[in-house]
Amino acid sequence: MFSSMTRGSHVLIPETKPLVDVDTVASISPEYLEDSFVYVHCEFQSLSPGMLIRIWKTTFLNDCDSASKSQLVHAENISMAPQWTMVPDGGFYNFLLIFSALPKWCTRFDLAEEIPQAGGFLVRNIQRNKSDVYRITLQE
């Protein structure tokens, strides 16, 4: 969600991190609370009826220039494996993934769901930005 401010005839939309409710923050392990986070807003497009999706705890942000990995801390609006989430037929489904901080030197990274079967999410070469908030579209 974006908040906006109006100044004259221009609308300014500041870069802000999304609001996360108190229950979500409370569910995050205490060792992560002093860390900064990376927010990945995902939009999944289903082309088939009856599509099911889920996310595995073995989903990482992998720095393209080192072996560094940022761990998935929390997933909002998507089931964690082994549970499934139903995607509306022929529609779009949105969910949020929250990861631990990327290394300061990281300039690009991959979103990789490392699972023991085919079909994991993989988005390569995401360019890092100052806000560490990203929007990606996934297709089946």
Angle at CA of residue 78, ends 104 and 41, nearest 5°: 40
pTM (two decimals): 0.74
The pLDDT tens digits for 62-118 are: 999 999 999 999 999 999 999 999 988 878 899 999 999 999 999 999 999 999 888
CA separation for the pair 137, 93 (Å, rounded): 10
Contact 134, 40 (CB under 8 A): yes
User: Tens of pLDDT along 40-67?
Assistant: 999 998 888 888 999 999 999 999 999 9
